[in-house]
Amino acid sequence: MKKLLVVRNDKLGDLILILPALKLIKTSCVDIQIDCLLDKKYSEISSITKYIDNTIYDDRNLVSVINDENYDFSISFYSSFTIGYKLWLSNISKRYAPATKLAQIFYNRKVKQNRSFSLKSEYEYNNNLAEFFLKDNFYKISSVDNVCISLNERSISNNEKIIVFVHPFTGGSSKTLSGDDFVRLCFELNKHVDCKFILHCEIDDYNKCQKLVEKSGGLDMSIINPTNSLIEMYKNINSCDLFIAGSTGPLHVAASLNKKTVGFYPSKRSSTLVRWDTINDRKNKLTYSDTGNDKDFIKVDLKKIANEIRRNLLNQL
């Protein structure tokens, strides 16, 4: 069995977006073990998806750990200078990465992608890197869809409310709708569809969500019990019918479950809806770009978007 180490040790959304590439590799190389170097707080991902066999983390013993595992290949979907240097020090003979930034000097199998131009989605760039790896090692490339994770589907009875998760805050660098605008969107959605709204958040944002609930008079709105467990996050999000958020990790979690999603994106080129598109089916997602000039929040036509959500997503439930 061949052993491959893949690297994506930054944010949750970025990690989710390599899963289609790992699925492509696994289905093309049935005799390969894929281990992932990632942020330790996402280590549970190997229990959620069958496309990651084991996880490792960056620490002072990383080079020794890599050498002990005797990896045949590595693919750095995200390449920092430090990780590139440690992979170069290891005994991995074929080290793949995009030809970008100074860190590319540590890799001996590179492909130029120009990701900063945002001409295609991040998961497509990742798939292209996986295809380069497969071709370079004479594997026949399988054709697979993007959806990677399958939990038990929620079935909706005729007398049951539609469950809408709203993730109103983001811990990343991308701006999103203001909390007040998320609440206004909920009011617009609830005019014609009976919804139960659940605010999904990180533990640090719980108090801010409480303030939004206080502004939601007339709506059936509550707050999720925040968790640091990735497994619990997946279980929570799997219970919803629709997930609404800015460009965040939880939005990509919902998409990896092929949930119906609504995503709001800045107009900044490095953060556009093209670059950070989700991996759920096209029919299951709506995406919107910032149309305003507010430096802190995304501004959109909430009434128009609510009508589109009802027509294209909620009416299909």
Q: What is the mean pLDDT of the chain?
A: 94
Contact 55, 47 (CB under 8 A): no
Q: Which tens digits make up the pLDDT trace of 68-77?
A: 999 999 999 9
Q: According to the model, what pLDDT value does residue 100 have?
A: 85
Contact 121, 282 (CB under 8 A): no
Q: Which tens digits make up the pLDDT trace of 268-315?
A: 888 899 999 999 999 999 999 999 889 899 999 999 999 999 999 998
% the chain with pLDDT above 70: 97
Q: What is the DSSP code string of 215-271? A: T-TTS-EEE----S-HHHHHHHHHT-SEEEEES-HHHHHHHHTT-EEEEEE-SSGGG
Mean pLDDT in residue range 147-160 = 71
Task: Give me the sheet containing 32-37, strands edge to edge.
Answer: 54-56, 32-37, 2-7, 73-76, 94-98, 109-111
Phi, psi of 153 (to 5 degrees): -70, 145
Could you tell me the sign of the dihedral formed by the alpha carbons of 155, 209, 173, 204, in that order?
A: negative
What domains are there in the chain, each with its CATH number?
2-136 (3.40.50.2000), 162-316 (3.40.50.2000)
Mean pLDDT in residue range 112-126 = 93
% the chain with pLDDT above 90: 84
